[in-house]
Structure 1
Amino acid sequence: MNRKQLADIILNRLLEEKETLSNFFEHSKTQIGYFFIDDVLPEDLVYQLNEVFPLSEEMVLKKSLREDKFIGVQMNNYNPLLEEVLYAFQDERIVKVIGEIIKVSGLFPDENLYAGGISLMQQNQFLNPHLDNSHDKDRERWRVLNLLYYISPNWKLENGGNLELWPNGLANSPITIESKFNRLAVMATHNASLHSVSPVKENVLRKCISNYYFSNEPLRKEDTFHVTSFRGRPENKFTDVLLQVDTFLRMGIRKIFKKGIKENPHVYKKSKK
């Protein structure tokens, strides 16, 4: 199936649940707006996605105090089905209906996959609480939505590796969204959308396909530019201090160098035809 055929299926599924999803997002948007929808694509196709997902040695390891995960963004290095599914979520009809669900117009998908693409987490890997970078790679548009599509079969909440939203800060318990097989989670990104992925507890593989949508305007009028800003988990106080210093230093650099000192390598470099 090509990306248009896949988008047809995704679109029909979103339209089936459109009113429910819109009400859910509306209820949550005063803090961190989000919704999720299950059974997005036919199960046999998602099992196939799982089978063709690259091994960790075919991906790039990102390991630091901030995060520990494998990522892939150069999609032409992998099975074509992965790229077709990823870009199906960028179909203009999908972008439009998701905009209608959250009541925001003028959304743009990101063909460059800046910080998007695919990711893999193994046992003990994690993504600490953070705010996503507020802008696209050229610092021209605001990042407003994060789309996460999960494809690991038989996923259980107790595996860890689940999406966490911290609308009331790190002093309070997060909202946990299970990384359930064939689930699409959509969350708002703004100056208060602190989120994380809990450490994977079991010997399982968490596989995810990620997209971001951007806009010419931020979701909240009070939003300001920021780099990806990490915090430590509540039980890791020392790590939290170090990561706040790290963010302060990186913000200082970006005040001098608008696009950073070097190009962010986490973009899809397509061959020129």
Structure 2
Amino acid sequence: MSFVPLLEEMDLPDSPLLNNLAQEFSTARPFPHLVMDRMFSHALLNEALQAFNLDHVNNINVFQNQLQSKRSTSTQSAMPAEIQRYFDIVNGAPFLRLLTRLTGITNLLPDPYLYGGGMHEVAGQGHFQVHTDFRHHPHTCLENRLALLTYLNHDWKPEYGGQLELWQNNPSRPVRKIVPQFGRSVLMLQSPDSWHGHPQAAQAGYLRRTLITYFYTAPKIKTDRTAQNTIYLPNSRQSTMQIAEIFIRNILPHFVLDTARWIRRRKRRQNCK
């Protein structure tokens, strides 16, 4: 049984389902996002819910102020095995390729330490005012590009409050409200315009539980070409030819080497005709 049924669509050369989801993501308002029910198997999420108990997890963050009221795991928290399985899946290469297919964002990187993510729990009267998330990871400096939320709340009804609200700015107003029902996942673009939150407090007596992950890309900066190549250390155990090759690689301009490689590849193709 696949824990992520959508991954099976990746084997199709031109999946209509993935095409439709990608179109939905790019055209969604007030900013690109997807709301998907049953993105993950209920077996996986039921096991995660049964293991969801922040009282038994170390290094818990507690946020209690006028803008938010919730608890969450930290980068130092040890997750229950059933919940760690979910995060191992979403941080793996197959799932990252699926996210690229849905969003068009290439070279996505996970954060296995789950800064800002992990297990989130909002108790009765808990809330999180409308906000945008952090733009860069504070430790790796990677750019925050996507957020994935998966809800673990059986039989949650709109009247219980705690709906995820997606807002536009100017004028400021909610454009979409999403009930945090069990098995529902929300994939959101991260940008200065991605205003969201659940400002309506959750009803007393109910726990709103969410698994949250962020995905990143490296910042686009110019780097020295030497940083992209293997550097060899000459030593007395090498042959004269090896030392000469190292000298050529380290001294000649890169465009000369690139031209030489191009000529060699072209000759090989001609010889194969």
Q: TM-score normalized by structure 2?
A: 0.70
Q: Which residue of 2 aligns with 1:68?
A: 69
Q: CA deviation at 1:23?
A: 1.2
Letter in 1 for 2:52: F
Does structure 2 retain, via aligned residues, the 8 Å contact 1:76–1:83? no
CA distance in 2 between counterparts of 1:102 and 1:78 reads 28
Q: CA deviation at 1:75?
A: 7.2
Letter in 1 for 2:165: E
CA distance in 2 between counterparts of 1:116 and 1:23 reads 27
Does structure 2 retain, via aligned residues, the 8 Å contact 1:34–1:188? yes
Query: Which consecutive residues of structure 1, in runs of 5 or more, have no partner in the other structure?
Result: 219-273
Q: Which residue of 1 aligns with 2:196?
A: 195
CA distance in 1 between counterparts of 2:195 and 2:61 reads 24
- Say if 1:106 and 1:69 are closer, same or farther in 2 by CA, change over 3 A: same
Does structure 2 retain, via aligned residues, the 8 Å contact 1:143–1:214? yes
Q: Which residue of 2 aligns with 1:51?
A: 50
1:235-255 CA-partner distances (Å, limit 9, x unpaired): xxxxxxxxxxxxxxxxxxxxx
Q: TM-score normalized by structure 1?
A: 0.70
Aligned length: 213
Q: CA deviation at 1:44?
A: 3.6
Alignment root-mean-square deviation, CA: 2.5
Q: Which residue of 1 aligns with 2:99?
A: 98
Q: Which residue of 2 aligns with 1:124?
A: 125
Does structure 1 retain, via aligned residues, the 8 Å contact 2:169–2:193? no
- Say if 1:215 and 1:74 are closer, same or farther in 2 by CA, change over 3 A: closer
Q: Which residue of 1 aligns with 2:135?
A: 134
Does structure 2 retain, via aligned residues, the 8 Å contact 1:40–1:183? yes
Letter in 2 for 1:138: H
Letter in 2 for 1:11: L
Q: CA deviation at 1:102?
A: 1.1
Identity of aligned residues (%): 20
Does structure 2 retain, via aligned residues, the 8 Å contact 1:128–1:196? yes
Does structure 2 retain, via aligned residues, the 8 Å contact 1:56–1:120? no
SS at match of 1:143: strand
User: How do 1:1-273 residues align onto structure 2 when only pairs under 5 Å count?
Assistant: 6=3, 9=5, 11-12=7-8, 17-28=17-28, 31-56=30-55, 58=57, 59-73=60-74, 77-138=78-139, 140-169=141-170, 171-198=172-199, 199-217=201-219
Instruction: Select the structure with the greater relative contact order (CA < 8 A; seq sep ≥ 6).
Output: 1
